[in-house]
Amino acid sequence: MVNLYPKREFKVPIFAECINPEIFEDKTLSEIAELEVWEGNKRKKLGEFFKIEEVKAETEEPTITLYGDLSRIRRIGTKMRRGIIKIQGDVGMHLGEEMEGGKIVVRGNVDSWAGSMMKGGIIEIHGNASHYLGAPYRGSTVGMRGGRIIVHGNAGNEVGAYMRKGIIKVYGNVGQFVGLRMRKGTIFVAGDAEGRMGACMKGGKIIVCGHVDSILPSFTIENVKGKVKVEADEIAQGPFYLFLGDLTENGMGKLYVSKEKNSHLGFYEKYL
């Protein structure tokens, strides 16, 4: 198991996709220190930024633990397929992008595009996530394709945009456009959601247990459900209004919204 400690405060974004359990595995500390990172447009070595130490392993899985303010460090865990990354502090953009396996646990806040285009594995955030959680880069039409993202705080705009598979659970509130253009998968929000939920979605499931301002007019009410399955071992207790859409895309996505927290949507019941 390898621990990393920042040597100084970081002022410029640092791209460090080399921080990956598979890349560290079977390397000596000196070899790890020589791994390439970019500070802005300058090529540097990992050991210039971090004190690196080896400690007794608590598990057979290759494990990296990082400490301190890492909010300027980007692309940690890019394309990782196995192992564990633990982050004790805030961390920067593109955490776990295109991740295929393994687990990342953050005890802090995470910047934008966490889990971008991920295919497998688990990201668990014991803090807040910024915008575009699990979403692709601008111009791409393929988002999250598998895996699980769990956020114990809040998340920003476009959670699960272009989602194709997998599950995202946010136990706080989310911003606008949750599930934008999603095709499959599940997004669960325990708190409130801002506007334009499910815009242009064709499939998949969005569950909101808190307050919503409104429902897009391109969704139609289908039913009232007493409870909804989030995943195999988790049920959300309702009742929930069930809306189908987005009809502008001939979509059959399912949008479940708490009836108790959204009495202003009661007028939809006359259409049942």
Q: Does 254 reside within a domain?
A: yes
Q: Does 70 reside within a domain?
A: no
- Which residues in the chain show pLDDT less than 50? none
Tell me whether strands 165-170 and 220-231 are parallel, antiparallel or unpaired. Answer: unpaired
Note the pTM of the prediction, 2 decimals. 0.96
Which residue range is the domain that position 130 belongs to?
A: 112-271
Sign of the alpha-carbon torsion through 54, 58, 63, 64? negative
Sign of the alpha-carbon torsion through 159, 261, 253, 170? positive
Compute the mean pLDDT over every residue in the chain, rounded to the nearest whole number: 96
Cα–Cα distance for residue pair 103/99, rounded to 1 Å: 9
At residue 138, the pLDDT reads 86
Number of domains composing the chain: 1
Q: Does 226 reside within a domain?
A: yes
Cα–Cα distance for residue pair 237/77, rounded to 1 Å: 35
In order of 27, 168, 271, the CA distances from 225 in angstroms are 54, 21, 15
At residue 57, the pLDDT reads 74
Q: Does 184 reside within a domain?
A: yes
Q: Does 88 reside within a domain?
A: no
Q: Does 55 reside within a domain?
A: no
Q: Does 77 reside within a domain?
A: no
Cα–Cα distance for residue pair 175/194, rounded to 1 Å: 5
Q: Does 243 reside within a domain?
A: yes
At residue 104, the pLDDT reads 98
